[in-house]
Structure 1
């Protein structure tokens, strides 16, 4: 569904759903926070506020209708994640659902399906593998507290030895280009957008590993303790939009 039709459809659904009563009598705007990270092309932020992106453009009209006085904050992933872990009435996206995270959030809806890989520079001697153990000799740049870092830690990688803590996805690719790390989590869509912005070529990178055990679904989720009315409203809005898509 194209952007214009999406917005029109959303407005119809939201006003149909909330026409008789507000779902937010308990959770006031001052209580609600919506957080994400700068992850182009999925979420694009400017000066700390979400401005667009493939997923951002799905969430923005929803947030505007349901929480008109709440801006979507763009934070480093580790900060956004910790906030959603600890603060009620906090909405976070895009987040991967893992076994370790399942009971730590309310999972509202899938907002995108992606494949996550480890990528290296094309001239790196490492070949693609299906065994993470073969990559233990690499220096991998990752964001702390993201799903990939958890998998790497489970497979014997360690911060300070063969894992480097990097603040954002864009920073990981910059570090990779400069040769400061050997591999980073990414995918073809992220690399394509990054190269459009930086002047590199997608062929400058290659896939060395695909995380097949990692869910390919990106979710929007809410913290534990979030107002049940908020959860219901969000779930219904996304479900209705999905049904009409």
Structure 2
């Protein structure tokens, strides 16, 4: 009986125009986190931005770029925790965060690492060896949270709210290490005019996936509708490439 009720409930969620229309009434927050979400030449773009807009189109509830607010990560993260009808992306889904948000995704695989200059010849054989170095972190970012989970003292961390500051500090050796998403960190190093090949991963903190993180008060049926639309984007047609894959290919 419960299974029948669930199937009927899911059907109405998928077809209901009222629920669909509400998706574009949410507040979407993001940060400079290329290639997933970033602003370049005054235009917001990236894998996650394109996926979000495609979800809106699939749901017949268009989400325009002006509806997406670009903010420093700490501000966006805290706002999503406390403000109803707010969504944060791209957010690494971790056990620590599991019950403080609701989730839809995944958007993409991700790898959170600790980077160092190759010329420094830094070797990290166990987590606590990190504590002897100055480690750059973004406040409230998953890199900082994972270091704290491992027991690395906060005194070993140099906090910032913007990644380009940490990229600059790493290249000038004002910090020894940088804990951040691998692709994003290398993008910022390149943007600063440096060769990303001169930097290496010395420790892997977490391999996981990026998601859309919803405030706990967002209606669960709306999130289910969002997830159904995202799943549809990933389905490969009989001939051709899925919409999701087309978005990934755009940023390779």
TM-score of Structure 1 vs Structure 2, range by shorter chain: 0.7 to 0.9
For residue 190 of structure 1, the aligned residue among 184, 194, 200 is 184
Q: Contact (CA 8 Å) 2:170, 2:176: kept in 1 or not?
A: yes
Distance in 2, matches of 1:240 and 1:234, equals: 10
Corresponding position of 1:123? 119
Unaligned runs of 5+ in 1: 1-16
Q: 1:88 deviation in Å?
A: 1.4
CA displacement at 1:162 relative to structure 2 = 0.8
CA, structure 1 residues 126+28, in 2 after alignment: closer, same or farther (shift >3 Å)? closer
- Unaligned runs of 5+ residues in structure 2 are 1-13, 237-241, 243-252
Specify the alignment match of 1:92 in structure 2: 88
More displaced 10-residue stretch of structure 1: 186-195 or 225-234: 186-195
Distance in 2 separating the partners of 1:59 and 1:33: 12
Alignment of 1:167-206 (within 5 A): 167-186=161-180, 188-206=182-200
Deviation at 1:62, TM superposition (A): 2.9
Higher relative helix content: 2
Aligned counterparts of 2:53 and 2:140: Cα–Cα separation in 1: 25
Is 2:221 the partner of 1:226? Answer: no
The number of residues matched between the two structures is: 221
Partner of 1:108, secondary structure, is strand
Partner of 1:9: none
Counterpart position of 2:52:
59
Give the Å deviation of 1:68.
Answer: 3.8
1:111 maps to 2:82: no
Q: What residue in structure 2 maps to residue 101 of structure 1?
A: 97
Look up the match of 1:144.
139
Equivalent residues of 1:144, 1:165 under 8 A apart: yes
The aligned counterpart of 1:22 is 18
TM-score (norm 1): 0.79
Query: Are the aligned partners of 1:27 and 1:89 in contact in 2 as well (CA < 8 Å)?
Result: no
